[in-house]
Amino acid sequence: MAEPMKIRAQLQGDVVDVKVLMNHPMETGQRKDPQTNQTVPAHFIQTVTATLNGRQVLAAQWSQAVSKNPFLGFKVKGGKAGDKLVISWADNKGDKNTTEATVSG
Amino acid sequence: MSLTRREFLQILAAAAAAGLPLTDKHALAAKPEAGFYDLTRFGNLRLLHFTDCHAQLLPVYFREPSVNIGVGGAVGRPPHLVGEALLKAFRIRSGSPEAHAFTYLNFEKAARTYGKVGGFAHLATLVKQLRAGHPGTLLLDGGDTWQGSATSLWTKGQDMVEACKLLGVEAMTAHWEFTYGGEWVKQVVDTDLKGKVDFLAQNVKTTDFGDPVFAPYVLRELNGVPVAIIGQAFPYTPIANPRYMVPDWSFGIQDDNLQKIVNEVRAKGAQVVVLLSHNGMDVDLKLATRVTGIDAILGGHTHDGVPQPTLVKNAGGQTLVTNAGSNGKFLAVLDLEVRAGKLAGYRYRLLPVFSNLLAPDPAMADLIRKVRAPFEDRLNEKLAVTEGLLYRRGNFNGTFDQLILDAMLEVKGAQIAFSPGFRWGTTLLPGEAITMERLMDQTAITYPYSTLNELTGTQIKDILEDVGDNLFNPDPYLQQGGDMVRVGGLTYTCSPFETIGRRISNMRLDGKPIDPDRKYKVAGWAPVAEGASGEPIWEVVARYLRDRKVITPRKLNLPRLNGMRDNPGMA
Amino acid sequence: MNELRRALLKGGTAAGTVAVAIAAGLMRPSQVLAAEWNKAAFDAKSVSDALKGIGAASPADSKDILIKAPDIAENGAVVPVEVTSRIAGTQTIAIIAEKNPQPLAASFDLSNGAEGYVHVRLKMGQSSNVKVVVNAGGKHYTAAKEVKVTIGGCGG
């Protein structure tokens, strides 16, 4: 199980500004390990979902072109301090991660 | 042999009395002002600005470029004017002290007449004099202050930090400072500079959540007028210099964030908004068309000694854009008249700091003596004597760079040599000794490794194309502000007005065309990749100089240029 | 959860499965699963195939899509791309790095108050246009911004 995501969810007016940092190698499947000279198999996050107070606000699909340790930013209108945000990802090997955060005012 | 201050003033006075320019014999003409630095007071606030001094604490010679090509909309416009074209555009009289300061014309002779320029002890005297002449004064440092000399490298910029504090710098921004490492800069800002010098950079953010790393601006009240100074660090620091030096920070031009900051300081009551910028002049000229509400951009990075500001119109009014030269050679004075909460008028002077005209400030002279004392023996080691003029500035090559290339080719046993197109580095007159200090003026960086690689003809072309696009892309936001990589061994043709991939042609080695697939031995230095190593470049060049003892005038290896006829950026 | 999703996506009885799952306490009522990864679109080797893959073969140019990305990338492996769509009813934002081996980099479905805004960081092997495609009410719109990837060094 990967490390929890770092999530910052801040209310600006009535918009929740969300920033997420995930821990993932995001291997493209094209890189060669410099020591073994073997191609490192593709390993990357494919789907990400976000819910605010249980309602889905974002569903993303990613390719291996998203950078290592991915960053995701989005904004949701109509939020308030204390709202519960849940972010989940799943990668091409079936690994998953879910992290919760609370919207700060 | 340069003139003493008294002799200098006597010549000025004699010329003024005669009402005639002096003959070329003296390379000196009439300057019918009694006191070169006596500025009449104007307006209610005064901004003093120096930039890119590159840690030159003592007076030096510095030759302005004879090649500074503008492309796209920049053809024939400041800062892309050299020599006679510059004199004509700014109505500077040939043979005057200003003509010497702003151009390369008749350099050796004029330099021997007027003597050295800059030096912090002389600058300190001038700053004091200009502060005394105005009740509301602020001293701003545009950055590239902690790097460029032996003592700055050996003290990690600490000599310059102390000198700037003594000089009374009130705010600064940065570029080469970051090559001591982000953590080091942060530590200096949080300790040495705290409460004394505001280190400003609106465009430096953390790479995690994009939080500001430094204060974006400072609000000061000058003579009753609220003034905002916003800082803009060099946007391409992690590209032009090693990324690993600042791994956790992101830079960029960030003009939308800048607009937000301008709006914020205006909302807080700032009546004058100034951007202290290390963008480079072409970038600043474009930025001034896009961001509104800035009264003046006091610029640096491109080392352009531009006598007067360029006035740029934009949707919100107009913005003055300046660039204040390098190596301690100039001090800019921007006097502003603010009436009814708005800027109503300005006067600008870019004053050459003629060391012989300014008595050294004793306290600063004492500090400089102290910081140099532990290093004097190393600094003064005489490596060789030069028979020709040695300088760096110019789009394609300089004689000191040629010397570095020649040394690399020989010492490294390379077929081709590359030397980066840095714009700092002082000038030596024929007959002067090349000391370790003068060599370090050209090479003092924290990643000085010399390298020898096997590169294919295709890779060599890709490098030249890449650097050429950083210099000649018609969009200033895609320019990084350095000069073309200097090339030894290889000859080529360059077409600045072409696009990337099409600028470089006719590459030859010993007259034979370069084979795209063949490998060549290429020497270089200052690699930006992490983990690079190699003998410091100054050791390589020092060995060559000690062997030679006498350095004959260098023959510049210059590319053949296409499409440059009549470009006022070329002499 | 994967099995549940497969059941959801495959079955003609999907609605019934959801109801069962909710009843069994496996899902809260409003929880929704990610859409199946669009393999055809992400494997596409050309921009046009990628566009077809996301059902946006010929999007219309729009000035209401703002793309903030560096003019010169600080690091080709980490290129921040910030997209703001001012098009009313923006439902999906897709980002394409035109010269990447597989151009489609990411796609975002926005709902329940999510604004037309996303910010990601992408890998780009060479200078390229970053193309954004927005789906609003079944219509597709596009805009592009060039990002230069350079060798670096030699500045200042």
Asked whether residue C136 is domain-assigned, the answer is yes
- Asked whether the beta carbons of residue C31 and residue A54 sit closer than 8 angstroms, the reply is yes
Total of domains in chain C: 2
Which of A67, A71, A72, A75 has the highest number of chain B CBs within 10 A, making it the mutation to test binding with B?
A: A71
Mean pLDDT in residue range A36-45: 94
A54 touches chain C (CB under 8 A): yes
Inter-helix orientation angle B120-132/B362-372, to 10°: 160
Average pLDDT score over residue span B379-407: 98
DSSP H helices in B232-303: 237-240, 255-267, 281-290
C77 with C91, same domain: the answer is: yes
Same domain for C54 and C105: yes
Cβ distance A71 to C120 less than 8 Å, yes or no, reads yes
Q: How far apart are CA B207 and CA B212, in angstroms?
A: 10
- pLDDT band for position B460 (50/70/90)? very high
- Chain B segment 187-246 residues within 8 A of A by beta carbon are 208-210
Q: What b/e string do you get for B175-184 counting C-beta neighbours within 10 Å, with b at 16 or more?
A: bbbbbbbbeb
The reply to whether residue C123 touches residue A59, judged by beta carbons under 8 angstroms, is no
Condensed to tens digits (0 to 9), the pLDDT of residues B402-424 reads 999 999 999 999 999 999 999 99
DSSP 3-state assignment of B140? strand
Read off the pLDDT of each residue in C65-90 and give the average, rounded to a whole number.
Answer: 96
The mean pLDDT of chain B is 94
Is A1 contained in some domain? no
Q: Do C132 and C59 share a structural domain? A: yes
User: On the CB side of B1, how many CA atoms lie within 13 Å of its CA?
Assistant: 1
Pick from A76-85, B273-282, B458-467, C21-30: least confident: C21-30
Between CA B264 and CA B258 the distance in angstroms is 10
Is C91 within 8 Å of A58 (Cβ atoms)? no
Give residue C28's pLDDT band: very low, low, confident or very high (50, 70, 90): very low
Widest distance between CA atoms in chain B: 70
User: Within this chain, do residues C106 and C62 fall inside the same structural domain, yes or no?
Assistant: yes
pLDDT(C26) > 60: no
CA B180, chain centre distance (Å)? 18
pLDDT band at B565 (very low <50, low <70, confident <90, very high): confident
Confidence of residue B1 (pLDDT cuts 50, 70, 90): very low
pLDDT digits (tens, 9 = 90+) for B431-445: 999 999 999 999 999
- Whether residue C137 lies inside any domain: the answer is yes
Residues 6+ apart with CB under 8 A from C20: none
Residues C18 and C58 in one domain: no
Q: Which of B131, B102, B112, B511 is nearest to B307 (CA)?
A: B102
Q: Distance between CA A59 and CA B388 in Å, rounded?
A: 68
Question: Does residue B533 surpass a pLDDT of 80?
Answer: yes
Residues C28 and C81 in one domain: no
A86 is written with which tokens? 């849940």
A66: nearest CB among C31, C34, C106: C106
pLDDT score, position B9: 53
Give a yes or no: residue C90 inside a domain. yes
Query: What are the chain A neighbours of C111 within 8 Å (beta carbons)?
Result: 56-59
Q: Given this model, what pLDDT does residue C16 score?
A: 38
Within an 8 Å CB–CB cutoff, is residue A6 touching chain B? yes
Whether the upstream peptide bond of residue B65 has omega within 30° of 0, thus cis, is no
- CB-based contact C63:C119 (threshold 8 Å): no
Contact B21, B98 (CB under 8 A): no
Residue C156 covered by a domain: no
pLDDT digits 0-9 by tens, B96-122 = 999 999 999 999 999 999 999 999 999
C73: closest chain B residue by CA: B239
pLDDT in tens, B218-253: 999 999 999 999 999 999 999 999 999 999 999 999
Residue B234: its chain C contacts at CB < 8 A? 155-156
Contact check, Cβ <8 Å, B478/C75: no
C74 and C8 in a common domain: no
Assess if residue A96 is contained within a domain.
yes
| DSSP-derived pairing of the beta strands B519-525 and B450-456 | antiparallel
Q: Is the Cβ–Cβ distance between B424 and B552 less than 8 Å?
A: no
Alpha carbons A77 and A92: distance in angstroms, whole number: 31
Of A56, A70, A90, the CB nearest to C121: A70
* Residue A96 near chain C (CB below 8 Å): yes
Domain B47-55+118-369 classified CATH 3.40.50.300? no
Whether residue C93 sits in one domain with residue C17? no
Residue A94, domain extent: 6-102
Partners of B485 on chain C (C-beta within 8 Å) are 154
Whether residue A60 lies inside any domain: the answer is yes
Whether C51 and C108 map to the same domain: the answer is yes
C113 close to B (CB below 8 A): no
pLDDT at A65: 97
| pTM score | 0.91
B496 phi and psi, to 5 degrees?
-55, -30
**Which residues touch B256 (CB under 8 Å, ≥6 apart)?**
C68
Close Cβ partners of B91 (under 8 Å, ≥ 6 residues apart): none
Residue A67 maps to a domain: yes
The answer to whether C143 and C132 have CB atoms below 8 angstroms apart is yes
Residue among C37, C104, C121 minimizing CB distance to A46: C37
Nearest CB neighbour to A55, from listed C38, C82, C112: C112
Amino acid at residue number C41: A
* Residues in a beta bridge with A18: A9, A74
Residues of B with CB under 8 A from a CB of C: 144, 175-176, 207, 234, 236, 238-241, 243, 250-253, 256, 301, 420-424, 462-463, 466-467, 469-470, 475, 477-478, 480-482, 485, 500, 526-528
Q: Cα separation of A77 and A12, whole Å? A: 10
C-alpha–C-alpha distance, residues C14 and B122, integer Å:
83
B293: amino acid identity, one letter: G
Q: What is the pLDDT of residues B161-203, one digit of tens each?
A: 999 999 999 999 999 999 999 999 999 999 999 999 999 999 9
Do C95 and C22 share a structural domain?
no
| Residue B151 backbone class (left: φ over 0; alpha: ψ -120 to 50; beta: rest) | alpha
Does the interface ipTM go beyond 0.90?
yes
Which part of chain B is CATH 3.90.780.10? 380-561
CA distance A3 to B245: 27
The CATH 3.60.21.10 domain(s) of chain B lie at 47-55+118-369
Predicted pLDDT at A105: 87
Q: What is the CATH number of the domain that holds A73?
A: 2.60.40.10
Residue C22's domain spans which residues? 1-36
Contact: A61, C37; criterion CB under 8 Å: yes
Give domain B380-561's CATH architecture: Alpha-Beta Complex (3.90)
- Residue B73 DSSP symbol: G
Tokens of B279: 């963008």
Nearest to C152 by CA among B470, B304, B239, B62: B239
Which residues, in sequence order, are bridge partners of residue B314?
B317
Q: Mean per-residue pLDDT for B496-517?
A: 96
Do residue C72 and residue B478 have CB atoms under 8 angstroms apart? yes
Among residues C94, C103, C95, the alpha carbon closest in space to that of C125 is found at C103
- Any CB–CB contact under 8 A between C126 and chain B? no
| Mean pLDDT on A39-62 | 97
pLDDT digits (tens, 9 = 90+) for B289-333: 999 999 999 999 999 999 999 999 999 999 999 999 999 999 999
- Which residues touch A15 (CB under 8 Å, ≥6 apart)? A75, A76, A77, A79, C115
Alpha-carbon gap: A19 to the closest alpha carbon of chain B (Å): 7
Distances in whole angstroms, Cα of residue A95 to Cα of each of A23, A43, A92, C2, C84: 12, 10, 7, 11, 31
Q: Do C154 and B251 touch (CB under 8 A)?
A: no
Q: How confident is the model at residue C151 (pLDDT cuts 50, 70, 90)?
A: confident
State pLDDT tens for residues C94-120. 999 999 999 999 999 999 999 999 999
* Number of domains into which chain A is organized: 1
Residue keyed to tokens 């003629």: B354
In our burial notation (b when 16+ CB lie closer than 10 A, e otherwise), range B152-169 reads bbbbbbbbbbbbbebbbb
CB contact under 8 Å between C79 and A67, yes or no, is yes
